[in-house]
Amino acid sequence: MDFAFTEEQDRFRAEVRAFCEQADPQFDDPQKSKGLKGGYSAALYRELGRRGWLGLQIPTRYGGAGRPPIFEAILAEELGRSAAPAGNYAGTVLEFGHLILRHGSEWQRETYLPRIASGEIRAGHMYTEPEAGSDLAAVRTTAVRDGDVYVVDGTKMFASEVSRTDYSVLMARTWRDVPAEDGLSLFILDNRAPGVTHTRLATLGGKGTHQAYLDSVRIPARDLIGEENCGWEYFLDIRAEYWTKNQGYFCGTMARLLEQLVGFTRSDDGGWRAADPLIRQRIARLAMDVAALRLLTYRLASAERPHEELAQIATLKVLTDELILRFGNEAMAIGGPESLFAAQPGANAAGLSLENRYRENALKHFSSLGHALARSVLATDGLGLPSVEG
């Protein structure tokens, strides 16, 4: 098996890296734009669209570049490596865009894909609900057909992007008298539609999230994605796309953090750490794990039929989440007491914004789109264990 990148792929990586290093983005909210995910800049996001990078895998007939899937993984890795403020890239392109491309109607493809590729629109999702915990199928929000529209009522938790995006992928129940996962449908929700309101909630990571309220919201029937009651199937299908490519972002993020950690350890601020054998072993272990994770990410991103490797993709997701958590713990331990303080302009290198990253990483413990679902997929698809309902 050839693990080398092609000349075209290397040129693309170099182009993206040069852009990210030279970009001087205008943050939408500078006070909330530090940390693991790089923050948000609408101007930079539109520039990615202008360069054709938001439609890499979208066919040319819909305004995209029609490139192989590995290019999206390369873009994600370089955005993560530079901490580029391209928030909503994953939700818009890897989730919303691929969902429409794979399961949407021709009208939806012609309407939304060109606008995604150009950077005109951004999207998030509304899946989880109050009291549902990590049981994503425990959806009580209802969507009732009324002629040419669906009337939607319910409450959604962790609708983190609703205040800065144009659309949300909404999961709602369209059939009650069936097993929980069999009566769900996915819709394209206009976040500015009458009846959609939201409240901001503070989070440990500092960036906040939202609770969204849907009060008799009328969604045109043409914005039903695919068929009624197939939402769970579509959701699992798109997880393969999202998990594989988005892990490239975290590979880039952790590679950058590793460079910073090594640089700090070797600096005057690092003091005695570079000669400590235990610290050297800890850093070496992190370096090996990041390299292994990157290898698996690109192996799956290059697969001819990635959706047939859902168990391995779920494994990649779990390994990524666990390494992010362990990376935060190890970096804080190596950095010492100064890592507990928020990094300030002019502060020494020990901070490295580690305290912010550590708080933000806590999401990996309980995210319904992370550990719980990925482990369940691994158990059923990979090991042949019965599902919870089985």
The CATH number assigned to the domain holding 137 equals 2.40.110.10
Tokens of 98: 């691929």
Q: Mean pLDDT per segment of 10 residues, for the chain of length 390 residues?
A: 83 97 80 56 93 96 95 94 88 95 97 97 93 77 97 93 94 89 95 96 78 97 97 88 85 90 86 91 95 93 74 87 88 81 52 70 63 77 70
| 271 and 367 within one domain | yes
Last residue of a domain, one of 79, 98, 121: 121
* 1 within some domain: no
| 326 and 277 within one domain | yes
Last residue of a domain, one of 228, 246, 268: 228
Give pLDDT, residue 335.
Answer: 82
**217 beta partners:** 152
Last residue of a domain, one of 90, 106, 121: 121
| 167 and 305 within one domain | no
* 388 within some domain: no
Give pLDDT, residue 349.
Answer: 46
| 376 and 316 within one domain | yes
| 107 and 90 within one domain | yes
| 240 and 323 within one domain | yes
Give pLDDT, residue 246.
Answer: 83
| 204 and 93 within one domain | no
| 143 and 53 within one domain | no
| 243 and 221 within one domain | no
Task: DSSP letter for 206, please.
Answer: S
| 143 and 105 within one domain | no
* 387 within some domain: no
> Whose CA is closest to 122, among 90, 165, 85?
165
Tokens of 188: 């394209």
> Whose CA is closest to 130, among 154, 156, 111?
156
Give pLDDT, residue 133.
Answer: 63
Cα-to-chain-centroid distance, residue 117: 17
Give pLDDT, residue 222.
Answer: 98
d(CA 214, CA 172): 11
What pTM was estimated for this model as a whole?
0.88
* 252 within some domain: yes
Domain that holds residue 286: 232-382
Tokens of 350: 């020990």
- Is 116 exposed, middle or buried, given 0-12, 13-18 or 19+ CB atoms closer than 10 A? buried
Q: Which residues of 50-77 are buried (b: 16+ CB within 10 A; e: fewer)?
A: eebbbbbbbeeebbbeebebbbbbbbbb
CB 117 within 8 A of CB 64: yes
Give pLDDT, residue 304.
Answer: 66
How many folded domains does the chain comprise? Answer: 3
Within 10 A of 386 (CB to CB), how many other CB atoms are there?
8
Give pLDDT, residue 306.
Answer: 61
Give pLDDT, residue 9.
Answer: 96
